[in-house]
Amino acid sequence: MVSTATNIAQKKFDNCIMNASGVWCSDENELTELDRSEASSFVTKSGTLQPRKGNPQPRYFPTSLGSINSMGLPNQGLDYYLEVVNRLQQRKPHKNYFVSCTGFNVQEDISLLKKVAVSGFTGVVELNLSCPNVPGKPQTGYDFETVDNILKTVFKSYKGPLGVKLPPYFDIVHFNQMAQILNKYPLAYVNSVNSIGNGLYIDDTQEQVVIKPKNGFGGIGGDYIKPTALANVHAFYQRLNPDIQIIGTGGIKNGRDIFEHILCGASMVQVGTALMKEGPDIFARLTRELKAIMRDKGYEKIADFKGKLQYIE
Ligand SMILES: O=C1NC(=O)NC(C(=O)O)N1
């Protein structure tokens, strides 16, 4: 009997598949649908200190190979997500949940994590350092000094399990530099990758962009980004100390994609674009497909192949 169970932050999850922050997780209804699905957990939309409307629409566009989005962090505010998740947690004390949050500077990050601590939340916090879609705001994850400063400041006060959502990196030296910073802190995990920022998708019949914000520039997800996602998962798996686990996000739409992310070192995978297209039923299909692959290959649990990607000697 194969098992797709996993552990993150010393917490048990009966399945290694869940949603990516931002997708199907913006309000209580969507979170409840995820909670009832085959996903082992959920992560909320990144909560900010105050609720946000986000960018003008159209701000999301699905394509045959993935998606482009410039949502601009529309969310109900962190307090809302903490209230909903703490209530769901009471109903299901055995389940473990993730709450995502993001501040626009280190002081805001500290305030957000204070809110988490005061709320009595006992799950895992994901600090989003990689939203590419707030006009005028750079992706924190590309400012190495700021990431170092945020983590140094955060870990002085926040004592609960915390992971960070990173943007994709494209340079080996950047993998080295970021890993050196991350290894200094007691992170539960690193989640790679967020969308590839500031791509451009064009409707050639209309000779026009497809989303309104930022003249059509937006985060790219789906098939386009799987090779980049796998590279970031494996690069950090190779470089981070083993207590820091990897969550793999990017380009997952079938069991094979999940198998590849785990082979690269992921302990959990998150699904974005494909979940947006297929809805929460996708988790039953993905779980079936992953189990079939494991059965064919004679693997009983994900530890049997996690990180075991082979190189060509
Ligand atoms: O972190 C994020 N990544 C994205 O691709 N989009 C959202 C957003 O725009 O809110 N945030």
Each domain of the chain, given as residue ranges in start order, spans 6-54+73-194+222-304
| Side-chain half-sphere CA neighbours of 28 within 13 A | 10
153, 124, 128: which is closest to 140 by C-alpha?
Answer: 128
Q: Is 272 annotated as a binding residue?
A: yes
Tell me the residue type at 26. Answer: S
Q: Is 192 annotated as a binding residue?
A: no
Ligand 1 center–CA 195 separation, angstroms: 7
**Six token digits for residue 289:** 């497909």
First-to-last alpha carbon distance for the chain, in angstroms, is: 34
240, 281, 241, 237: which is closest to 263 by C-alpha?
Answer: 237
- For residue range 220-259, list pLDDT tens digits in order: 999 999 999 999 999 999 999 999 999 999 999 999 999 9
58 DSSP assignment: P
Measured CA to CA in angstroms, residue 179 lies from 128, 170, 235 at distances of: 17, 14, 9
pLDDT in tens, the chain (313 residues): 999 999 999 999 999 999 999 999 999 999 999 999 999 999 999 999 999 999 999 999 999 999 999 999 999 999 999 999 999 999 999 999 999 999 999 999 999 999 999 999 999 999 999 999 998 888 999 999 999 999 999 999 999 999 999 999 999 999 999 999 999 999 999 999 999 999 999 999 999 999 999 999 999 999 999 999 999 999 999 999 999 999 999 999 999 999 999 999 999 999 999 999 999 999 999 999 999 999 999 999 999 999 999 999 9
Ligand 1 center–CA 293 separation, angstroms: 31
Task: Give pLDDT, residue 68.
Answer: 98
Where helices occur in 163-219 by DSSP H, the ranges are 172-182
Ligand 1 neighbours by CB, cut-off 6 Å: 22, 69-73, 128, 130-131, 133, 194-195, 219
**The domain at 6-54+73-194+222-304 falls in which architecture?**
Alpha-Beta Barrel (3.20)
Beta strands in the chain (DSSP E): 6-8, 11-13, 17-19, 60-63, 66-69, 98-101, 124-128, 162-166, 189-192, 196-200, 202-203, 208-209, 217-222, 245-249, 268-271
Ligand 1 center–CA 313 separation, angstroms: 39
Q: Is 193 annotated as a binding residue?
A: yes
Q: Which atom of ligand 1 is nearest to the CA of 75?
A: 10
